[in-house]
């Protein structure tokens, strides 16, 4: 705009620089790094090589030769973009095959493949419930479930993290005819696992539906990495028609996208009613082909999952001596997410910076992402880490513990 334009009066847009400055003053500005893969679990980060403990690529499959080859072959066969919504001409043969394979892997009747997990949850929740209905949401649920809940305009009842007694009381007290319980299956900041059989039992008792977000469990938990629901198949939880299972494909599966699976009729309803499915361009076939290759790798090459679990066990076995006397605590977790709670924000940042000086990238997570006073390192382990990488991390943590202020 030029000065003589008639758009010269005061505007709220003039406040944006001040608002950015206020974020900065509160130490809330986020900065991105420019990265490129280096060897193993290392990354080039702004031109410097670092050993990364921050990736959700839990099985290292984003670098798998067969997964890369499938992406290239998929592009050769189908082109790069899908060209349209799945409701028009975007539903490729590859996407259809992937949906059948995903349903089989998790042991449910039918699956629907989405381009992203965020869009899936933000949009399937409003497809399931609306004004006058009731939603019950774990306090530590991922942002996209929370946003889906808000978009639905249903009444939202938040229960304390994993507090099933409170959930039972809220379900009992609700007069709503349609009730939906939403929960992460593996919680993204703590790494703990929801009590799925108990959640299913509560939903059966109160005529509710359960939506599980297994973004961090698919590929990691259960037999052959089939996910947190398959992990409790013995209990009958998977057989319940009251379960919708959602997982993402950009974490352990190493690619991108997401899916929701459940009974034939519920998935058909979501196909008809989910706005981010209808009004968005379908995921490209080259990504579906890549995920299919990743699923084959998960099934046929159990060494990836075995390496991840060996790394988790080695880390947990070594952490006690490394941090003795600090008051830091490692939260219980059998998943790839290992949360080391340090407490104060500045102390967590100091440890993060000490590790960074040693060439390790371990993110500190601070309030409001986690509760006040529980600033932590969120350590993500992967099959791409070697036993030496885990030892390097433990040694660096021990050194940071010794130099405490």
Ligand X SMILES: *Cc1c(COP(=O)(O)O)cnc(C)c1O
Contact residues for ligand X, defined by CB under 6 A: 116-118, 121, 142, 144, 184, 188, 213, 215-216, 248, 250, 258
Token reading at 40: 């193993």
Going by their DSSP bridges, the two strands 364-365 and 329-330 should be labelled as unpaired
CB-wise, 176 or 282, nearer to ligand X?
282
Active site residue 188: yes
Q: How far is the CB of 116 from ligand X (least distance, A)?
A: 4
The answer for 48, left when phi > 0, alpha when psi is -120 to 50, beta otherwise, is beta
- For residues 254 and 245, give the distance between their C-alpha atoms in angstroms, rounded to a whole number: 19
Token reading at 230: 């398959």
Token reading at 233: 């198949």
Q: How far is the CB of 113 from ligand X (least distance, A)?
A: 12
Say how many residues make up the chain. Answer: 405
- For residues 388 and 246, give the distance between their C-alpha atoms in angstroms, rounded to a whole number: 34
Element (H, E) at 171: helix 164-173
Residue nearest to ligand X (CB): 117
Active site residue 91: no
Residue 265, number of CB atoms within 10 A of its CB: 10
Measuring CA to CA, how many Å separate 169 from each of 136, 150, 173, 180?
11, 22, 6, 14
Q: How far is the CB of 340 from ligand X (least distance, A)?
A: 19
- For residues 101 and 105, give the distance between their C-alpha atoms in angstroms, rounded to a whole number: 6
Token reading at 21: 């400055």
Q: Please tell me which residue in 251, 276, 290, 385 is annotated as part of the active site.
A: 251
Q: How far is the CB of 323 from ligand X (least distance, A)?
A: 26
CB-wise, 91 or 142, nearer to ligand X?
142
Please, where are the H alpha helices in 239-357? 264-273, 275-278, 285-300, 303-322, 345-357
Q: Please tell me which residue in 216, 228, 240, 385 is annotated as part of the active site.
A: 216
Cα 135 from chain centroid?
Answer: 21
Q: How far is the CB of 395 from ligand X (least distance, A)?
A: 29
List the helix and strand counts (H, then E) for the chain: 13, 15
Q: Please tell me which residue in 42, 55, 123, 188 is annotated as part of the active site.
A: 188
Q: How far is the CB of 213 from ligand X (least distance, A)?
A: 5
- For residues 159 and 162, give the distance between their C-alpha atoms in angstroms, rounded to a whole number: 8
Indicate which residues carry an active-site annotation: 188, 216, 251
């Amino acid at each position: 705009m030029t000065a003589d334009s008639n758009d010269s009066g005061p505007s709220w847009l003039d406040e944006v620089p001040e608002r950015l400055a206020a974020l900065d003053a509160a130490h809330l500005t986020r900065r991105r790094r420019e990265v490129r893969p280096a060897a193993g679990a290392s990354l080039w980060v702004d031109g410097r090589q670092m050993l990364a403990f921050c990736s959700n690529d839990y099985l290292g499959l984003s670098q798998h030769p067969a997964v890369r080859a499938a992406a290239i072959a998929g592009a050769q066969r189908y082109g790069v973009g899908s060209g349209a919504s799945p409701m028009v001409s975007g539903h490729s043969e590859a996407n259809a095959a992937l949906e059948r394979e995903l349903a089989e892997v998790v042991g449910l009747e039918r699956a629907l493949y989405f381009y992203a997990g965020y869009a899936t949850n933000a949009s399937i929740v409003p497809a399931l419930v609306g004004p006058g209905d009731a939603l019950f949401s774990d306090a530590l649920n991922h942002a996209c479930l929370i946003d889906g809940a808000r978009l639905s305009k249903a009444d939202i009842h938040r229960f304390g993290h994993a507090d099933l007694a409170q959930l039972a009381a809220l379900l009992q007290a609700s007069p709503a005819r349609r009730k939906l319980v939403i929960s992460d299956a593996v919680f993204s900041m703590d790494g703990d696992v929801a009590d799925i059989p108990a959640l299913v039992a509560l939903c059966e008792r109160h005529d509710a539906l359960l939506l599980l977000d297994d973004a961090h469990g698919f590929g990691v938990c259960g037999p052959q990495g089939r996910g947190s629901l398959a992990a409790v198949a013995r209990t009958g939880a998977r057989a319940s028609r009251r379960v919708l299972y959602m997982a993402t494909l950009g974490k352990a599966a190493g690619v991108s996208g997401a899916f929701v699976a459940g009974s034939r009729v519920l998935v058909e309803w979501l196909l008809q009613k989910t706005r981010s499915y209808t009004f968005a361009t379908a995921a490209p076939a080259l990504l579906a082909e890549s995920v299919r290759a990743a699923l084959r790798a998960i099934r046929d090459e159990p060494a990836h999952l075995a390496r991840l679990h060996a790394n988790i066990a080695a880390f947990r076995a070594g952490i006690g001596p490394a941090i003795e006397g600090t008051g830091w605590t490692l939260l219980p977790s059998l998943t790839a997410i290992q949360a080391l709670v340090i407490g104060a924000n500045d102390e967590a940042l100091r440890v993060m910076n000490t590790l960074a000086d040693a060439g390790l990238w371990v993110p500190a997570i601070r309030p409001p992402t986690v509760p006040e006073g529980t600033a932590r390192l969120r350590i993500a382990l992967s099959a791409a880490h070697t036993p030496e990488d885990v030892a390097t991390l433990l040694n660096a943590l021990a050194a940071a513990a010794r130099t405490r202020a």
